[in-house]
A and B are shown apart, each in its own frame.
Chain A
Amino acid sequence: MSAAFLLKRLLGAVPLLLAISLLLFVIVHLAPGGPLDVYVDNPSVTPEALRQLRIGYGLDRPLPVQYLLWLKSMLEGAWGYSIRTGRPVTQEIIERLPATLLLGGTALALSLAIALPVGVLTAALRRSGVDRVLTFLSFSGISIPVFWLALMLQLLLSIKLGWLPAAGYETIGASGVRDRLAHLVMPALVLSLATIASWSRFLRSSLIDVLEQDYIRTAFAKGHSFAGVILRHALRNALIPVVTVISLDLASVISGAVITETVFAWPGIGRLFVESMDGRDYPVLMGLMMLGSVALILANLLADLVYAAIDPRIRYE
């Protein structure tokens, strides 16, 4: 893989991002009821003040001008000011990022730690009772609505048993690792369930494909043990497509988990998104959508790079 390829892919992302930004801008600005709608019924905001606000936010200019101004300031790193709080969008997002990264990172680690062994186990014990039970569970993991699972866990583990705090990031006044961990357990579990299910399914089918190949039969014929063949010979090749899937899912670590963060009142950027929806806070919404899109595009690129790095047969021009 060459530096030229990397450069080409990075440059290719530019028109993609421009198209996305235009699309998002049109969506947000064609919607009925502007961001200042919230002030219209507020008696303490005079029509004159409303007009000043419109001019202040640039909402009186023609849409194409608004778009170009917005794009220019996005590129300069000035993502505008939140309509709800009046603070810079970048500051709002940066403040919320650590919570999202902590939750996403934990969920990711949890997913890897569970999905890889489950995938290997179900492929090795194909069509056994263990495989059937775990397969059923992974179908369930993909099919269960996360918000309902979250509610049920809150009901069971917090309200009925009192083991864990129902929601939030930390207990006010309390500090320390124990308190943080207790708050982290349920959201991380809920967030990782879908990835555990899908990654283990991918690994299972990929490993089953590899196990049918001739070089595996050769390895068995040479007298290697079952576990030895799987771990030393089959797993390396089986992981190639799985690593791609994992790389793609990395984007969600950055773009946040809207549902999980909302149900557990986790102060990350997923919850910031829902809060901004309630206030029609366009600058924050646009910033978050762009951040999420950049994360997705980078994850795509990463998937290609990792694919090439672990499979010497792949050569990008």
Chain B
Amino acid sequence: MSDAHRTAWVSLVFLMALALSVVVVPWISPYTYDLQDLELIGQPIGPDRAHWFGTDELGQDSLTRVFFGGRISLAVGLASALVATLVGTTIGALAGFFGGRVDTALMRLTDVVLSIPLLPLVLLLSGLLRPGLPMLVLTIGGLTWMATARVVRSQFLTLRELEFVTAARALGAGSGRLIIRHMLPNALAPITVSATLAVGSSIMLESALSFLGFGVQPPTPTWGNLLNAASPWIGAAPWLALPPGILIFATVLAVNFLGDGLRDALESKD
């Protein structure tokens, strides 16, 4: 087993464990994410036996909020990556399959979106629309599909010329059937890799937005807005800023290692 393989497996196990813990947290934690202990309101209290990660200035249990925040952060990351992959695959497949004017138009569109700085654009949209979670997912996914589209397009340009496609066409397969049944399965490897990497960049983008105050709004916790809330207390209560930051870091790192391992495993044949 190569280095990349081992790292990818470790990453996968970590991500599964993390996903499991954020799913079960409501049944395990004695607190809810917005439960305020009225005696602890005023300023953050350090970790103790009742609150392992301490409490914030609103008297809320930090450990519980970090794992509830993980639910939102992971869900937004996965859903946004799914949107980006669907949009990117559709656009790339159509452009690569039909070529000509369709290709030109779709690639121009890709160029336009790629020529606007990403973070400011996402900030602008989410700041002006103040979106709820579904709109946030659509915004992030709707602005990060371009890499996938380019990869899928180049795959389809190659596949289009291959003999099995000509054969299927000669047997009477229509465009839709050619794309979905014959060509798409052959492009799944690069799509899987870019979908995996998209999860990492979506999580990063959501936390950046929420950190700047334009993403998910409190009291709903995400790793990004927990860091936003922790930053004024960084000197007095550093324990608030450690767990969310470490979890974003570890999650994105694991996703990137997983993507790298998948690329190694899936694309080594060519």
Contact = CB atoms under 8 A, between A and B. Distances in A.
Interface stretch (B18-26, B63-71, B227-235): B227-235
A169 interface: no
A24 B119 CA distance: 14
Interface in B229-243: 230-231, 234-235, 238, 241
28 contacts: A19-B108, A20-B112, A20-B115, A24-B116, A28-B124, A142-B256, A143-B200, A143-B253, A143-B255, A144-B252, A145-B207, A147-B227, A148-B244, A148-B248, A151-B245, A152-B241, A154-B234, A155-B238, A155-B241, A258-B119, A259-B208, A259-B212, A273-B120, A280-B128, A289-B121, A293-B117, A296-B115, A297-B115
Contacts of A20: 112, 115-116
Given A19-B112, A154-B234, 5 more contacts: A148-B244, A151-B234, A258-B119, A285-B124, A296-B117
Contacts of A172: none
A68 interface: no
A111 interface: no
Given A151-B231, A155-B235, A258-B119, A27 B212 contact: no
Interface string A268-286: 0000011001001000010
A145 B238 CA distance: 17
Given A258-B119, A293-B116, A148 B124 contact: no
A300 interface: yes
Contacts of A285: 124
Q: Which of A28, A32, A145, A280: most chain B CB closer than 10 A?
A: A145
B245 A262 contact: no
A296 B234 contact: no
Interface in A52-71: none
Can you list the 5 inter-chain pairs with the closest CB atoms, starting with the nearest? A148-B245, A31-B128, A143-B253, A292-B117, A143-B252
B124 A145 contact: no
A17 B238 CA distance: 45
Q: Interface centre among B108, B125, B128, B255, by most A CB within 10 Å?
A: B128
Interface residues of B, number: 41
A127 B119 CA distance: 35
B111 interface: yes
Q: Which of B125, B252, B257 lies at the interface centre, i.e. has the most chain A CB atoms within 10 A of its CB?
A: B252
Contact of B249 (A145, A155, A288): A145
A82 interface: no
Given A154-B234, A289-B121, A262 B111 contact: no
A159 interface: yes
A239 B207 CA distance: 34
Interface in A214-236: none
Contacts of B137: none
Interface of A: 16, 19-20, 23-24, 27-28, 31-32, 132, 139-140, 142-148, 151-152, 154-155, 159, 251-252, 255, 258-259, 262-263, 273-274, 277, 280, 285, 288-289, 292-293, 295-297, 300
Q: Is the interface of A mostly helix, strand, loop or mixed?
A: helix
A2 to B, nearest CB: 22
B197 to A, nearest CB: 10
A149 B231 CA distance: 12
B97 interface: no
A87 B111 CA distance: 33
A148 B248 CA distance: 9
Nearest to A285: B124
Interface in B109-140: 111-112, 114-117, 119-121, 123-125, 127-129
A27 B227 contact: no
B212 A132 contact: no
Contacts of B227: 145, 147-148, 151
Contact of B124 (A32, A154, A263, A277): A277
B11 to A, nearest CB: 10
A152 B127 CA distance: 26
Given A151-B241, A151-B245, A293-B115, A140 B212 contact: no
A19 B114 CA distance: 12
Nearest to A269: B120
A262 B211 CA distance: 11
Given A273-B123, A293-B116, A139 B208 contact: no
B93 interface: no
Contacts of B212: 147, 258-259, 262, 274
